[in-house]
Every structure is written in C-alpha cells, then in structure tokens.
Structure 1
Amino acid sequence: MSAFRIDRTTPLGAGEAWRRLTDWPAHAAQVPLTRITVLTPGPSRVGTVFVARTGLGRVAFDDPMEVVRWQPPAPGRPGLCRLEKRGRVVTGWAEIRVREAAEGEPPGGATRVRWEEELRFRPLPGLLAPLTAHAGERVFGRAVERLLSG
C-alpha cells in the first residue's frame, strides 16, 4: 500500500478551488501519459464514474474510479470528495478536501486544500510502496498546483 498526502494553500475561494480539483478531464492535462473518460453524465455527484488510462499504446492500464462522497464546500462547511479506485491494477481511494482558511491561520491563501490517497498496485510488491508513494506525491502535488493555478 502506498499512501501520501498533499497540502496546499491557494488564494482562490473554496468554490473555485473545488470546481478546478473536481474537473476530472482537466486532470489528464496534468498527469503525464494519462487521459480521462467520464462514463456518467454530469454534473459530478455520488455515483459519477470515470476512468484514467495511463501509458503508451498497448503498455497501459485503466484506473476506474467512482465518486462515493460528494459534499461541495459551503459557507462554514468544508468540501469533501471521496473516490474509490476499482481497477484490476490499481485499487484504493483518494480524498479531496477544500476549506476556507480560518482566522489566525498563517497568511498566504484563502483556501486550504488536502489531497490524500492510498494506492495499491497489484503487480508490485509491497516493498516498492515507499517509492510509489513518493512518485504519487510528486506527480499529484504538481497536478494539484497546476489545477489550482488555472
């Protein structure tokens, strides 16, 4: 199991940060060698299913995901989206949390974002978990930054 967490601060409002982070097709432009197909009609909600296909040609794998929790941010309430990964190669979950910064928190942004993920790659031994966690943190950290910067 590979687990990682990404924390970021953005000057965007919580609603805009949420919109950008839950625009599933936009993720494909940020994650190398990946394209995303949303299989259910929008808007996103509990039950939305999409597939991230990563790789080149025949050397690729699908990462199907389903939104199992969908709580957009609202005044006084943080946003939470939970994805369950249901693939043959990749399983696990991801959570995206978005909340307005509280008074007294360090300056530098209006909104706090947390992306937390736990991945299992079936063909890889558990000994490689630290390596895949580090790679996930770098790849998704960069993706979150780019999505938030627009």
Structure 2
Amino acid sequence: MPTVTRTLPLPADRAWDLVADARNHARWVPFTRVDVIDGEVVAVTGPRARRGGRGLVDRMRVDRFDPPSGGRPGVAEFVKVGRVLLGSARIEVTPAGPDAARVRWREDVHLAGPLPRRLTAAVGAPVLAAMVRRALRMAADEARQERAHHL
C-alpha cells in the first residue's frame, strides 16, 4: 500500500484546497481527466482521456472530507467503487507551521476480478507510488509558484 509524504509551502487550509480537491489531480496525473458526477469522483486515464476519449475508469465515492481546523489534520477518504479498480485512497493534510503543511497520501488499490487482491495490489503498488510522488511533486511546484506570486 503506497504512502507518500511531502511538505508543501502553503498554510494547511490552502494545501488542503489544492490536494483534496480531486479535480486538481488531472493536472498532475498524465493522460487523466477527473470529473465529479452526482457526488462521485470519476477519473479516466488513457491516451485521449483529456480530450474526452475512453480509458481506464476509476470511480470513487467520497466517504470523508474533513478540512484541517485548529491544528487538527484534514482527512479525505475516497473508496474506489468501479468495475475494474477497487480499494481506497486517503489524503491527510497536517499543519507544519504557519506557511507549511505536511501531506500524506496513501493508495490501497487492487483489481476487481479473478486474480488475487494481494497479487494485483502488489503489482500495481510501484505504479501508484510513482503516480502519487509525481502528483505531490507537481502540487509542491504549484504551491511554490502560488507563494512566489503572492509575495
């Protein structure tokens, strides 16, 4: 189960707005579009997905969405409810000073179907870890640009 942690140079509430809103993830995950349809997050990944084409569909139900408050971490939990991808994702945003927040993003994903859950989770873990590292690196780049723009 890949877990990636990174500190963003933004206050926790702003970091939360950036990383917990799944629609922003489309900027960071290649070949992916993200829509929110009837309260469900639908990410589609494929060579033409950003232009409306088909791809691998990742449907997620938002089970928890508690922003950080009063020094308490924010927690977003997504449950994958698709035909192909199952599991969960959790994003935690913890204040790390007045202008910094620690983001911890965990993915526990496996394929539906005849292959064992442990096998498909293990095979997919390196890809998910790379995706999450890239997403948080790009979020950190956006955070630095935002911060520089406001100074």
Alignment TM-score > 0.5, same fold = yes
Q: Do residues 33 (structure 1) and 24 (structure 2) align?
A: no
The answer for the alignment partner of 2:83 in structure 1 is: 88
Q: Which runs of 5+ in 2 are unaligned?
A: 143-151
Counterparts of 1:10-29 in structure 2 under 5 Å? Answer: 10-29=8-27
Q: Distance in 2 between matches of 1:49 and 1:122?
A: 19
Fraction of identical pairs, as percent: 36
Q: CA deviation at 1:62?
A: 1.0
Q: Please list the CA deviations of residues 50-103 of structure 1 after superposition, one character each: whole Å capped at 9, or x if unmatched.
A: 10011236762211111111110012211000001100100100000001127x
CA contact (8 A) 1:94 1:118 kept: yes
Give 1 or 2: higher helix fraction. 2
CA contact (8 A) 1:101 1:112 kept: yes
Further displaced range: 53-62 or 5-14: 53-62
Code of the aligned partner of 2:61: E
Q: Distance in 2 between matches of 1:91 and 1:128?
A: 10
Q: Distance in 1 between matches of 2:105 and 2:23?
A: 17
The answer for the alignment partner of 1:114 in structure 2 is: 104
Code of the aligned partner of 2:132: F
CA contact (8 A) 2:74 2:94 kept: yes
Alignment TM-score, normalising by the size of structure 2: 0.80
Counterparts of 1:1-150 in structure 2 under 5 Å? Answer: 3-40=1-38, 48-56=39-47, 60-101=55-96, 110-123=100-113, 125-126=115-116, 127-150=119-142
CA contact (8 A) 1:17 1:148 kept: no
CA contact (8 A) 1:14 1:73 kept: yes
Q: CA deviation at 1:129?
A: 3.3
Number of aligned residue pairs: 135
The RMSD of aligned alpha carbons is 2.1
The answer for the alignment partner of 1:106 in structure 2 is: none
List 4+ stretches of structure 1 deviating above 4 A.
Answer: none
Further displaced range: 113-122 or 23-32: 23-32
Q: Please list the CA deviations of residues 17-65 of structure 1 after superposition, one character each: whole Å capped at 9, or x if unmatched.
A: 100002222211211121111113xxxxxxx311001123676221111
Secondary structure, aligned partner of 2:64: strand
